[in-house]
Amino acid sequence: MADTVFIPLETSAGESRVGGSPDSVKKLKTLGFDVVVEAGAGTLSRIPDSEFEKAGARIGSAADAASADVVLKVRRPSSAEVAGYKSGAVVLAIMDPYGNEQALDDMANAGVSAFAMELMPRITRAQSMDVLSSQANLAGYQAVIDAAAEFDRAMPMMMTAAGTVPAAKVFVMGAGVAGLQAIATARRLGAVVSATDVRPASKEQVASLGAKFIAVEDEEFKAAETAGGYAKEMSAAYKAKQAALTAEHIAKQDIVITTALIPGRPAPRLITREMLKAMRPGSVAIDLAVERGGNVEGAVADQVVEIEGVKVVGYLNVPGRIAASASALYAKNLVTFLETMVDKETRTLALNLEDELVKATMLTHGGTIVHPNFAPAPLAIAATA
pLDDT higher than 50, residue 287: yes
Length of the chain measured in residues = 385
Per-residue pLDDT, 158: 95
| Average pLDDT value for residue range 295-320 | 96
Q: What is the rounded distance in angstroms from the CA atom of residue 314 to the CA atom of residue 306?
A: 11
Spatial CB neighbours of 43, under 8 Å, sequence gap ≥ 6? none
Residue 86 DSSP label: P
Q: Where are the alpha helices (DSSP H) in the chain?
A: 22-30, 49-55, 79-83, 101-109, 131-150, 177-188, 202-208, 219-222, 236-250, 273-278, 323-339, 356-361
* 102 HSE (CA, 13 A, CB side): 3
Backbone angles phi and psi of 136, in degrees to 5: -65, -35
Q: What is the rounded distance in angstroms from the CA atom of residue 5 to the CA atom of residue 122?
A: 26
| Average pLDDT value for residue range 86-104 | 96
Asked if residues 300 and 314 have their Cβ atoms less than 8 Å apart, the reply is: yes
Give the pLDDT band of residue 123 (cuts 50, 70, 90).
very high
Bridge partners, residue 94, by sequence: 75
Q: What is the rounded distance in angstroms from the CA atom of residue 260 to the CA atom of residue 249?
A: 17
Asked if residues 256 and 196 have their Cβ atoms less than 8 Å apart, the reply is: no
Among all residues, which ones are annotated catalytic?
122, 127, 130, 133, 230
| Average pLDDT value for residue range 315-339 | 97
Handedness of CA 83, 86, 88, 89 (dihedral sign): negative
3-class DSSP state of 362: strand
Asked if residues 363 and 104 have their Cβ atoms less than 8 Å apart, the reply is: yes
pLDDT higher than 90, residue 15: yes
Residue 77's closest CA among 306, 337, 363?
Answer: 363
3-class DSSP state of 73: strand
Spatial CB neighbours of 196, under 8 Å, sequence gap ≥ 6? 171, 172, 173, 174, 175, 213, 214, 215, 242, 246
* Per-residue pLDDT tens digits for 250-271: 999 999 999 998 777 889 899 9
* 371 HSE (CA, 13 A, CB side): 24
Q: What is the rounded distance in angstroms from the CA atom of residue 21 to the CA atom of residue 49?
A: 10
Q: What percent of the chain lies above the pLDDT cut of 70?
A: 95
Asked if residues 182 and 295 have their Cβ atoms less than 8 Å apart, the reply is: no
Please tell me which residue, 337 or 199, carries the higher pLDDT value.
Answer: 337
Handedness of CA 372, 373, 374, 379 (dihedral sign): positive
pLDDT higher than 60, residue 227: no
Q: Which domains, from first to last, does the chain contain?
A: 4-119+340-369 (3.40.50.720), 138-321 (3.40.50.720)
pLDDT higher than 80, residue 177: yes
* Per-residue pLDDT tens digits for 204-220: 999 999 999 998 888 77
- Supply the pTM of this predicted model: 0.90
